[in-house]
């Protein structure tokens, strides 16, 4: 009896594991994340281009020799990070590489040949991240993570130029397997589900360790952490010092933030609590974007949380939008077609009586 129960339990665990990772999923959510990630990649690289020589090359604040020593173990323990940008010193080569990187990120955002531009966007971003040690921010880490998982899925199969090309060259897609792979269909796929699950699990790990790290600080225990963040003029974009008159408010917000981060990994999965957890994510990261001046980081974190939004829901919104647009077009056509038809009827001359009696002669080609 016990052996039978354990065998059934094991079978249920294996079945749940398979459903979690290998159930085909639509790519609609990943496509929206791809657009935002590509745009953020392009934006961060464009900002970097404003002072490119300060970050890359032998004349950078951290030059090629120093960055190689930092990762090679001369100052601390060595790590596995490597980048060929350590060896680029020619300004022409650096600029050519950077412009190529920006072009690939733009194509990735637009959804142009994403089977190719996706891995390239991730690779170029990874090389930049390994070169820019000491000047990185949370934004760089999150967009690199998202690009890494997006390249595993057909994220360019919808809301993209790839979908336009697939419709235009349908015959080539149907007759050529490589073209069909290059311009994927927006049908549910296991790859889309695996990429989505990897983003979701990665987010859970990020929030768990972020919450545990906060729990190590005394200000998060005594409830003053939110006040010190609001009163810090270095990050302050809007004056929130008025919160000092309401210590109960910022204390409650402090403890609520720690609770949300630590238990995000458990509460985001049940459908009952998921909307509350995601609403809290929008509130926290939206507040960071609006009040602490970190617009890009707050935005990309909200984008990452979109991984928990059902692609079926997005597909349904698209269907309703197309239906309404089609209905509007039909109503416009009817509104303009009615007076046009009336005008044609009244302006057409009446046929002669003799012509009505004449049989219609049809000529067939010989």
Looking at residue 189, the DSSP 8-state letter turns out to be B
Integer Cα distance of 209 and 141 in angstroms? 15
Which pLDDT score is estimated for 94? Answer: 95
Looking at residue 24, the DSSP 8-state letter turns out to be -
Residues above pLDDT 70, as percent of the chain: 88
Tokens of 343: 């005008």
In the predicted model, is pLDDT for residue 166 greater than 60? yes
Q: Which of 131-135, 150-154, 312-316 has the highest mean pLDDT?
A: 150-154
Containing H/E element for 183? none
Mean pLDDT, the chain, whole residue set: 86
Each residue of 59-113: pLDDT tens digit?
899 999 999 888 888 887 888 888 999 999 999 999 999 999 999 999 999 999 9
Look up tokens 């960071």; give the residue.
288
Q: What is the pTM of this model?
A: 0.84
Cβ atoms of 164 and 158 closer than 8 Å = no
In the predicted model, is pLDDT for residue 256 greater than 80? yes
Cβ atoms of 183 and 165 closer than 8 Å = yes
Q: How far apart are the first and last CA of the chain?
A: 86
C-alpha distances out from residue 139 to 121, 260, 265, 302, 314, Å: 15, 21, 21, 12, 25
């Amino acid at each position: 009896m016990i052996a039978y129960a354990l065998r059934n339990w094991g079978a249920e665990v294996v079945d749940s594991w398979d459903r979690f990772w290998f159930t085909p999923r639509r790519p609609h959510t990943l496509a929206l994340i791809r657009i935002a990630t590509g745009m953020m990649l392009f934006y961060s690289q464009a900002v970097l281009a404003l002072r490119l020589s300060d970050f890359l090359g032998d004349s950078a604040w951290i030059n090629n020799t120093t960055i190689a020593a930092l990762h090679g173990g001369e100052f601390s323990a060595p790590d596995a990070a490597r980048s060929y940008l350590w060896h680029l010193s020619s300004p022409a080569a650096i600029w050519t590489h950077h412009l190529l990187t920006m072009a690939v990120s733009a194509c990735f955002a637009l959804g142009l040949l994403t089977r190719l531009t996706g891995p390239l966007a991730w690779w170029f971003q990874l090389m930049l991240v390994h070169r820019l040690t000491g000047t990185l921010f949370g934004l760089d880490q999150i967009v690199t993570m998202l690009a890494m998982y997006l390249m595993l899925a057909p994220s360019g199969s919808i809301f993209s130029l790839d979908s336009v090309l697939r419709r235009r060259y349908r015959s080539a897609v149907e007759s050529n397997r490589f073209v069909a792979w290059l311009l994927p269909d927006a049908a549910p796929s296991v790859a889309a589900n695996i990429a989505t699950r990897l983003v979701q699990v990665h987010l859970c790990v990020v929030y768990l360790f972020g919450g545990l790290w906060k729990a190590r600080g005394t200000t998060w225990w005594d409830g003053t952490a939110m006040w010190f963040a609001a009163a810090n003029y270095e990050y302050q974009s809007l004056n929130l010092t008025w919160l000092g008159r309401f210590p109960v408010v910022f204390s409650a917000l402090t403890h609520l933030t720690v609770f949300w981060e630590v238990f995000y990994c458990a509460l985001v999965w049940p459908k009952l609590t998921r909307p509350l957890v995601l609403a809290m994510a929008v509130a926290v990261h939206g507040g960071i974007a609006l009040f602490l001046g970190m617009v890009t980081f707050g935005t990309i974190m909200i984008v990452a949380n979109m991984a928990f939004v059902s692609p079926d829901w997005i597909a349904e919104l698209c269907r309703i939008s197309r239906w309404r647009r089609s209905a509007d077009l039909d109503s416009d056509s009817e509104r303009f077609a009615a007076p046009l038809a009336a005008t044609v009827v009244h302006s057409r001359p009446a046929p002669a009586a003799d012509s009505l009696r004449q049989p219609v002669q049809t000529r067939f080609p010989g």
